[in-house]
Amino acid sequence: MAKSSTRAAAQKSSAKPVFVLNGPNLNLLGQREPEIYGRTTLADIEKQVRARAKALGLTADCRQSNHEGELVDWIHEAREGACGVILNAGAYSHTSIAIHDALAALDIPVIEVHISNVYKRESFRHHSTISSVATGVICGLGTIGYDLALEAVKSKL
């Protein structure tokens, strides 16, 4: 591919937003188990993510659902509508073959994010069904993990 067409492809993909998808119970951030997840709310994270995306020359489309099928639908939508996906699938990270299969169909960067260090928690959280189809995984760094995930997506475009 010629340099000019490579640059054009990069510009075209970066015109699409990064989908920032949050799964079940993440709407309760700031209230639920603050000793694990902190006091930062999902609205705070979305504001932080949009600001960091803008600084990187990206846009972020932030969404949250407690419903597995809706997350799968959004991942399908990302095939044509996003330049990358940042996914905190919450408990679905450990159980969802459907989310795994939807992510496997993507040809864009996928970064799996966990606010807490899942390896310091219950043993059932030590396995992720989605890590094998993610470009990378960030866990245990708190909400800064979302910013790092944006930088990772940007580096892969």
* Phi/psi at 63 (5° precision): -140, 150
The strand order across the sheet containing 84-88 reads 60-64, 18-22, 84-88, 110-114, 136-139
**Is residue 128 classed exposed, middle or buried when 0-12, 13-18 and 19+ CB atoms within 10 A define those classes?**
buried
| Run of H or E residues at 84 | strand 84-88
Q: Bridge partners of 112?
A: 87, 137
Catalytic residue among 76, 94, 100, 114: 114
- Indicate if 114 belongs to the active site: yes
Q: Bridge partners of 19?
A: 61, 85
Catalytic residue among 37, 92, 100, 146: 37
Q: Is the dihedral of CA 155, 77, 54, 25 positive or negative?
A: negative
So which residues are the catalytic ones? Answer: 37, 114
